[in-house]
Chain A
Amino acid sequence: MFDTSMTLSDVWFLAQGAWITILVTIISVFFGTILGIGFGVFRYQVGPWWGAPVTFILDIFRSIPLLIQLVLVNAFLGIVLRLQISGFAVACGVLTFYTAAYCAEIVRGGIEAVPVTTRRAARSLGLNWFQDMRYIVAPLATRVALPSWIGLALGVMKDSALVYVVQVTELLKSTQILITRLQEPLFLLIIGGLFYFIISFPIARLGGYLEKRWSND
């Protein structure tokens, strides 16, 4: 069982896949969070009626399988618009909006967790809307939202396994390529799974720790 024909260059191949996974995750979580904060603040600020179009669009990203989102966007750009866009860019673009959709919810939850009285107090001290957001709401909301945000980032990392449909060779796809060649599915899958686990588990634990540490009770 511990006899494998896997070579060092195969390990390197897997590591490259892992790097693509991490790269896609970092790019989409970074831009997705910025967009998500924007959408979240916007939705909170304009209220449910004016925010409805944004809510609807973000809701679509959360109600359709990521696989279909990727295929659809890829088909739209490639077949309908006839644009030459790399699969990597499509993957990052879709995952960015996917992240933003969830992040907007988290941000809204965070802002709502800040007591209205605290904000009124800030405003009556003469802070303007932006200062109130920056110095009062942001620190308090972050405490509430950060554990969920960490969960979201890890979720995106795991969901990035699906970007193989737009011809991006990330970690799981490279594992699969190796399986096809070496015919050792269990061993290779365990290695691929360990890669994910090693990335995800410590960060998940950190999130759990922060949640416990920062909860008010």
Chain B
Amino acid sequence: MFSYTFQWNQALNRLPAMLDGAWVTMQIAVLSMVLGILFAIVLTGCRLSGNRILSGFATTWIEVARNTPALFQIYMAHFGVASFGLYFSPITSLLIGITFNNAGYLAENFRGALKAIPDTQTRAARSLGLTPIKAFGYVILPQMLRISFLPITNQMVWAVLMTSLGVTVGMNTDLYGVTQDLNALTFRTFELFALAAVIFYVIVKLINFGARLLAARLFRY
């Protein structure tokens, strides 16, 4: 059928190395997600604070994160800040780039979630004597995270897919980087990347499945 001979075992022999890469990919994705959620909460707090400087900072972060490519943000974290004498390793740059992106998108999602929470709750919490920060932390935040559970899952998938951009700043231990290196060794481009694609697909499915299990446990009323 094809004049090309597929050599799948060339790729399959490399599966252990690629699975190691997949593990690194997962670690980066999870770490960037945890940091991203934390930063997004801080950004949401900044926006709610009513302080013009803080909310201006948060808005700038969110708009830049949402209106420029993720690849650009990673370049910026690697090549851009090098002008200030800050030299990050590829993995750090990748982590900074993805975290920046995650935080921006999640903060926007949180804003949507906040709209679903009535203002009266904040007022009730304040009139019970909670400080603004406590009212946000104990009353609003848990509901906000619950409402935005699905967007957080989607962002987690995005984070996994974004790790593949690390190769552009010289990352070679994540799944895409490992595949790229193996490709340079064996020239089995199609087989290797097809295998990488399958691994990515499985990871994404596992995340969706895990999120569903988690949702079933967390949101039992």
Asked if A53 is at the interface of the complex by the 8 Å CB criterion, the answer is no
Contact residues, A177-217 vs B (CB, 8 A): 179, 184-187, 189-190, 192-193, 196-197, 200-201, 204
B-binding residues in A (CB < 8 A) = 60, 63-69, 71-72, 75-76, 79-82, 154, 158-159, 161-162, 172, 176, 179, 184-187, 189-190, 192-193, 196-197, 200-201, 204
Contact partner of A158 (CB less than 8 A), chosen from B2, B68, B75, is B68
- Do the beta carbons of B176 and A68 come within 8 Å of each other? yes
Q: A63-B157, A67-B164, A179-B79 are in contact. Are A161 and B69 (CB under 8 A)?
A: yes
A69 CB contacts on chain B under 8 angstroms: 197
- Do the beta carbons of B75 and A67 come within 8 Å of each other? no
A-binding residues in B (CB < 8 A) = 2-4, 63-64, 66-72, 75-76, 79-84, 157, 161-162, 164-165, 167, 176, 189-190, 193-194, 196-197, 200-201, 204-205
A140 to B59: give the CA distance in the assembly, Å. Answer: 32
- Least distance between B171 CB and chain A CB atoms (Å): 12
B82 CB contacts on chain A under 8 angstroms: 185-186
- Do the beta carbons of B68 and A79 come within 8 Å of each other? no
- Least distance between B158 CB and chain A CB atoms (Å): 10
- Do the beta carbons of B4 and A79 come within 8 Å of each other? yes
A115 to B48: give the CA distance in the assembly, Å. Answer: 36
B194 CB contacts on chain A under 8 angstroms: 72
- Do the beta carbons of A60 and B201 come within 8 Å of each other? yes
- Do the beta carbons of B66 and A204 come within 8 Å of each other? yes
Q: A63-B204, A172-B75, A189-B80 are in contact. Are A68 and B193 (CB under 8 A)?
A: yes
Contact partner of A197 (CB less than 8 A), chosen from B4, B68, B84, is B68
Q: List 25 A-B contacts (CB under 8 A).
A: A63-B161, A63-B200, A64-B161, A64-B201, A65-B161, A65-B176, A68-B164, A68-B193, A68-B196, A69-B197, A72-B193, A75-B189, A75-B193, A76-B190, A79-B189, A81-B2, A158-B68, A158-B69, A162-B165, A172-B69, A186-B79, A189-B76, A196-B68, A200-B66, A204-B67
